[in-house]
Chains A and B, each alone.
Chain A
Amino acid sequence: MTDKSSDLVQGTLDMLILKTLALEPMHGYGIAVRLEQMSKGVFRPNAGSLFMAIQRLQRDGLIKGEWKSTENNRRAKYYMLTDQGRKRLNSETREWGRQVAAIARILEAS
């Protein structure tokens, strides 16, 4: 099994997807590849968890999808951030930074 996303802290996948989409609209596979590239191969979500997260984000109104054709002339659903999604990404990034710093301080304390 190559499902490395299970190593992800619960809920962070959503945040990471939002981050990848912040740069440009992208389809499902593109998101997976970008996540892998940006994490240098550490995170490689499988299709199931990826699309579950996408559906969740879509239901929450953080992203929206649109069918377009790819550079290879294939139809694919491209997802993009909504305003709400952008706001959420900002707040989550801040919160994440705060938490990581706090955890780091605890771990370094000993």
Chain B
Amino acid sequence: MSALRSLSDGLRSLFRREQVNRELDEELKGFLEMAAEEKVKQGMNRKDALRAVRLESGNLEVTKETVRSAGWEFVLETCCQDLRYAFRTLRKSPGFTATAIFTLALGIGANTAIFQLLDAVRLRSLPVSAPQSLALVEIKGGNHGFGVSNRDTNLTYPLFEQIRAHQKAFSGVFAWSGSDEVAVGQGSQQRKARVLWLTGNTFAVLGVPPIKGRLFTDQDDRPDCGIQGVVISYGFWQSEFGGRDSAIGSKLLIQGHPAEVLGVTPPDFFGFEVGSNFDLAEPFCSVTAFRPAASVLARRDLFWLTVMGRLKPGWSTEQASAHLDAISPGLFEATEPSAYSTKSQNTYRAFRLAAYPAANGLSDLRETYDASLLLLLGITGLVLLIACANLTNLMLVRAGAREREMSVRLACGASRWRLVRQLLTEGLLLAAGGAFLGLYLARIFGRSILWLLSTERNVLELNLALDWRALLFTASIAVTTCLVFGLAPAFRSSRAEPGDALKSGSRGVTTGLERFSFQRILVVSQIAVSLVLLVGALLFVRSFCNLTTFDPGFREKDILLAFINLEPMHLTDIEQYPTVIRDLLAQIRSLPGVESAATSTHVPLDGSSWTLGLQIDSREGWSKFTWVSPGYFETMQIALLTGRDFNDRDTQASPHVAIVNEAFVQKYLNGANPIGRTFRSVVEPGYPSTDYEIVGVVKNTKYAGLREETPPESFGAASQFPAFGPWFSIFLRSSSPPSVVFSALRAKINELNPEIRSDFSVFRKDIENRLIRERMMALLSGFFGALAGLLTMIGLYGVISYIVVTRQNEIGVRMALGASRGNIVGMVLRQTVVLLALGTALGAASAVAVTRGVSSLLFGLQPDDPASFIGASILLIAVALIASFLPARRASRVDPMVALRYE
């Protein structure tokens, strides 16, 4: 009740200030007059009486102010005053204001952008109902590369069926697979769409409602359902149908099969993998219609599904894990793939299932970029810190210049708290300005980073819309920065003794050493932090350079790749494929500009891998296996050390031959002459156990990735490839521009058979695209390192300039007494050198400690790489010396007479 009255009274005095003031005025005046009347009654004359009363009760205005200051609205009022005043002061020095706001905006913008990325990749949960009760079902520890897998945590379809039939922990289990692209539309209108295969119950278990039409149910997922209906994503609905309602029920041509559009998923449902959206969703039963060649649903060695379940109420992930573990033996026994060696089958039977929390979905992005993004957040945080240090310095310099103003205000009776508040308000205003501009910059930064990370083949789509989390994050850094750079100067200047400052006039003789020492500490820490950032930047840049100039053992320059799919030719006899391939290769070799061409079952450095077990002289082992056509080594310019290349006499009927790499010889033959030796491969589905005779040895080349050691690798002849199918890649060497070769290729393939589907890429670009993370780290850490250096330079310049200005008299005297210009410059630079020495030493020490954590992100160099440390130090020292040489030279130009006359 009383709080309410206080509020209403306060509001009344705020909004009806005139009236409230008038009333107070009248009341006080009445008070005085009544007191005077009393005195008149006692015999004073009226004039004396009024005077006496005034003397007794003091200044009427002060009294009014005292009474007014008792209400809470007074605080609000003075805050508004502070704001207005801060606005005015900042407007009076636009240079300072612009620098401060822009510096802050850069820092805040970078931080917000990285935070948003991190948030999108890592923190946001799946856009489904109650994501906390979702769990992933995976093989504990992965499948160790058993069979064929996208990810080693994936499961086979038969296994999923077993889980669905026997589990009791989940109210529903579903599965999906999302790595396929299909062709949509017809003729020249044809384009690719990303398809998500899923079980019919998926949307129901997830609790994702359609925004148009209907989504799949179990009824849609019946064995051999063919292609009937399709669910499309919101994005696809917008781009393909313009968001029209008529889309529902219309027919969409998918790989030439008409499918009815059943419904649209909500806009925030991006699928399950953060960063890779989908266009179409199809039930698993339709897969067979797309892949007639082999029934992938029945395959027990194809690990391509991700399985999730919704926990029954009261079940925890741990309980579900225990339950899955208990039923695992039965499930794996029932789905054991045949045609494997006994050892492999034992491995399979020993697999155990487990459940893992799945609220955030799963993401390759997260695995790939987690560490990098966290590191970048740290880097941008440090840059912001440097920016704050700069602002603190600037504010300190301003505070020094405003010392007289502050003294006067203190002398006039302003409280110190009021002055602190005044300066903090200025800081807050700057921080708010920086935050607003920063939010804008964050959008630009965020988009640029996404653009940096996207490639032609893989366009990254993340939801970077501003949400409360990003806003909260920005607001909290704004407030923190305001406190960081506003507080020190505020307390400093409010400590001024009014008398001292007024006495010393404008000469600033008494500006004590103390303030300088604080500024010096700031500069030293700025130098130290910059050094850490520069060392980091150099490490990443050098590491990226190492990666791009690293010799993988083959010459990737001028190599073009063509991915060929013969499936649409619908050849009835699988034996026809080799003939078609041979013809195609011959045609391609004859194209103008093509120097050589060959097929291969494996594209080096693309992350994929094919391993078979082998037996050599009763020893067991393993090797990577790749089947290539004659001319592959010549095309890739891989040196053949001994023996021969494959040739046309190596056929299905002739003895199987192999060319192995040096690592193979080293590992299994102890370096003895390998030509003529034989080994036997271990059986796997589609790959019968075969004897190979080694006919040649090639130099080591990198296999799946640049970072790995070269594994033992065996090459087989393409003509003897046991599992050939309609897909293969052609490597061709050509020094003509890729676009010319590609169009010639396309024309030639079309001429041979328009049904053949093909896709081209430049090998070197593919490799570079796989170094995106490294490129991003190199670019961004380089950018932020340079920014940190620049900010430090500005800070140092400011401090040295200020020191020089305050020492002008002294410098004048020195020059009058005969000091040369060189002496003066030297004197000023000595200050820098001391600061630099301290800062660099401190920075180097922290860099050693900090960079140890990033070694896993580096390639070809150690985190204590001396070149990076020395380079960064030299760069920073050079920059610092330039920054302080300018004010030093200015100081040396001081006319002694002018400086002295000042006195």
Tell yes or no: A59 within 8 A of B by CB.
yes
Counting CB contacts under 8 A, is B2 at the interface?
Answer: yes
Q: A27-B30, A61-B2 are in contact. Are A77 and B23 (CB under 8 A)?
A: yes
Within 8 A of B (CB), among A43-85: 46-49, 51-52, 55-56, 58-62, 70, 72, 74-77, 84
CA distance A75 to B6 in the complex (A): 25
- Contact: B30 with A56, CB < 8 Å? no
Give residues 743-792 of B contacting A (CB, 8 Å).
none
Annotate B51-63 by CB proximity to A: 1 below 8 A, 0 otherwise: 0000011100011
Pick from B5, B30, B56, B71: contact of A29, CB under 8 Å? B30
The B interface, classified by DSSP as helix, strand, loop or mixed, is helix
B263 to chain A, nearest CB (A): 62
Q: For the complex, is B24 an interface residue (Cβ under 8 Å from A)?
A: yes
Q: Does A2 contact B (CB under 8 A)?
A: yes
Pick the interface stretch among B33-41, B270-278, B616-624, B649-657. Answer: B33-41
The docked-state distance in angstroms from the alpha carbon of A42 to that of B32 is 20
Q: Is A15 an interface residue (CB 8 A)?
A: no
Docked Cα-Cα span, A59 to B8, in Å, equals: 9
Interface residues of B (CB under 8 A from A): 1-2, 5-6, 9-10, 23-24, 26-28, 30-35, 37-38, 56-58, 62-63, 66-67, 70-71
A22 at the interface (CB under 8 A from B): no
Report the minimum CB–CB distance from B73 to chain A (whole Å).
Answer: 11
Query: Is A76 touching B30 in the complex (CB atoms < 8 A)?
Result: yes
A42–B635 alpha-carbon span in the complex (Å):
112
Report the Cα distance A77→B70, complex, angstroms: 19
* B62:A60 contact, CB within 8 angstroms: no
Residue of A at shortest CB range from B26? Answer: A75
- Cα distance A60–B34 when bound, in Å? 27
Cβ of A81 to closest chain B Cβ, rounded Å = 14
By CB atoms of chain B within 10 A, which of A46, A47, A72 has the most? Answer: A47
Question: Are the CB atoms of A29 and B63 closer together than 8 Å?
Answer: no
Contact A61-B1, Cβ < 8 Å, known A29-B31, A29-B34: yes
Identity of the chain A residue whose Cβ is nearest the Cβ of B53 in the assembled complex: A47
Which residues of chain B come closer than 8 Å to A84, judged between CB atoms?
Answer: 1-2
Cβ B2 vs Cβ A46 within 8 A: no
Q: Whole-angstrom distance from the CB of A57 to the nearest CB of chain B?
A: 10
Residue of chain B at shortest CB distance from A29: B34
Q: Is A28 touching B67 in the complex (CB atoms < 8 A)?
A: no
* Distance of A57 Cα from B37 Cα, bound (Å): 27
Q: Which chain A residues (4-50) contact chain B, with CB distance < 8 Å?
A: 27-30, 32-33, 46-49
Q: Identify the 4 closest CB pairs spanning chains A and B, nearest first.
A: A29-B34, A61-B2, A48-B63, A59-B6
Q: How far is the CA of A27 from the CA of B31 in the complex (A)?
A: 8
Q: In the assembly, what is the distance between CA of A108 and CA of B135, in Å? A: 77
Q: How far is the CB of A78 from chain B (nearest CB, A)?
A: 11
With A and B bound together, what is the CA distance between A55 and B62 in angstroms? 16
In this complex, what residue of A is CB-closest to B32? Answer: A47
Contact of B5 among A30, A33, A48, A61 (CB under 8 A): A61
Q: Report whether B30 and A60 are in contact in the complex, using a CB–CB cutoff of 8 Å.
A: no
Q: A51 and B27: CB pair below 8 A?
A: yes
Residues of chain A lying within 8 A (CB to CB) of residue B62: 48
- Say whether A51 contacts B28, CB under 8 Å: yes
Cβ distance B31 to chain A, nearest Cβ, rounded Å:
5
| Residue on B nearest A74 in the bound complex, by CB | B30
Q: Is the CB of B32 within 8 A of A59?
A: no
State in angstroms the CA–CA spacing of A60 and B66 once bound together.
18
